[in-house]
Structure 1
């Protein structure tokens, strides 16, 4: 039985060995591979010039030359640009300083102007009190002062109060305009009437009906005056 099984196995192994030996004995044939060359890769025959590059195309040598930039020239261009930017910045800085200083000066003037004329409305209200002092003093006659000591003392007290009041106003920039005998000035005087007087020059103030006042050289109230009229007119 063992012999019967061994015989087919032996035959099978022998058949495999025979096939392998047959394949080893066959000659190996290599098929040549076809290589295709494009027209651009083909070398031009000796003696013939290479085709020139068309417009818009550059050779490798030209592109290399364009890419190569002189570092010194590039640095000079950058330095010139920086110098220009610095000059522009200095110009803007100088203008900004000048504008700021002008703003400071104008603001300072406006603040001083506001301070100078802060009392304008209040000063106008005080002018009526000063006028009342003048009216009270002008109402007293000289004969009464000479004969009545009580009236004289009252007159002197009112006069002293008026002087103190006027000095206080002067310290705050309020000054009195009394143009008696001066030429008429329409900027500071207000003419209420005209009378011809041959012994006086025409256009001269000969009567002050109401004194005027200024606040820091600015007319607060013009003086009401009478002026001499020209006889020829």
Structure 2
């Protein structure tokens, strides 16, 4: 704005001076200069090397990451295999524990049943002497005495009935009599007191029972005392 006012004042005052200034004005204007920048090959190569080095450096961490991922996978596989072994071991221990527990249950049941079956063992052994006395009393009476004396005969019948009831009571509680006449001698159930050769019997056969034996639920309380046939030499 100030420049235009100044030009107008100069034009009004001196037209010739204005023309001179107008003619000289184009000489004072200078054209803009363009500068061209050149990049040296060394700098370009350096930048290229830097770029390539950057790529190589970026490739190395990628390889390291892949290697680390592989190592982590291997570690996970190893841990999984270890856990599988632990599971197999624990399963085997569990099955063994179950089997041992079941065996313990069966053994306990058998022991309880044995305890029940043989709870009367000691008491039954004490009763055997009384049962033997019944037999001794009955065997002491002769047939002639029974035929001659009615009272003795009645007493004999009463004692025999008591003995039979006593034996039946023992049988109900699992106590049975061992009377092995004409059976093979069994050292687990019989006790040989004497041997006599007999031609009409096989050697090793029981031909006489001196004292009967008893067993409780298959277990021998007392072996029977017997006479055995002797073999011929």
Q: Structure 1 length as normaliser, TM-score?
A: 0.66
Q: Counterparts of 1:78-157 in structure 2 under 5 Å? A: 88-157=89-158
Which structure 2 residue ranges, 5 or more long, are not aligned? 1-44
Q: State the shift of 1:96 in Å.
A: 2.4
Counterpart-to-counterpart distance in 2, 1:132 and 1:93: 59
Q: State the shift of 1:92 in Å.
A: 3.5
Q: State the shift of 1:67 in Å.
A: 5.0
Partner of 1:182: 183
Q: State the shift of 1:169 in Å.
A: 1.0
Counterpart-to-counterpart distance in 2, 1:227 and 1:73: 82
Structure 1 pair 67–160 and aligned structure 2 pair: CA distance change class (3 A) = same
Q: Counterparts of 1:165-204 in structure 2 under 5 Å? A: 165-204=166-205
Structure 1 pair 110–198 and aligned structure 2 pair: CA distance change class (3 A) = same
Structure 1 pair 166–61 and aligned structure 2 pair: CA distance change class (3 A) = same
Counterpart-to-counterpart distance in 1, 2:76 and 2:191: 78
Counterpart-to-counterpart distance in 1, 2:228 and 2:83: 75
Counterpart-to-counterpart distance in 1, 2:189 and 2:158: 31
Q: State the shift of 1:114 in Å.
A: 1.7
Query: Which is helix-richer, 1 or 2?
Result: 2
Which structure 1 residue ranges, 5 or more long, are not aligned? 1-43
Structure 1 pair 155–79 and aligned structure 2 pair: CA distance change class (3 A) = same
Structure 1 pair 206–68 and aligned structure 2 pair: CA distance change class (3 A) = closer
Q: Which has the larger radius of gyration?
A: 2
Counterpart-to-counterpart distance in 2, 1:143 and 1:45: 148
Partner of 1:163: 164
Partner of 2:222: 221
Counterpart-to-counterpart distance in 2, 1:186 and 1:126: 24
Counterpart-to-counterpart distance in 2, 1:84 and 1:186: 56
Structure 1 pair 88–200 and aligned structure 2 pair: CA distance change class (3 A) = closer
Counterpart-to-counterpart distance in 1, 2:186 and 2:82: 65
Q: State the shift of 1:76 in Å.
A: 8.4
Q: Secondary structure at the match of 1:107?
A: helix
Equivalent residue pairs, number: 183
Q: Secondary structure at the match of 1:193?
A: strand
Give CA deviations for 1:125-169 in whole Å, capped at 9, x if unaligned.
111111100000001111111121111111111111111111111
Give CA deviations for 1:175-225 in whole Å, capped at 9, x if unaligned.
111112222222211111112222333222221111111111111111111
Counterpart-to-counterpart distance in 2, 1:216 and 1:136: 28
Q: State the shift of 1:63 in Å.
A: 3.5
Q: State the shift of 1:85 in Å.
A: 5.5
Instruction: Output the aligned Cα RMSD.
Output: 3.4
Q: Structure 2 length as normaliser, TM-score?
A: 0.66
Counterpart-to-counterpart distance in 2, 1:179 and 1:74: 78
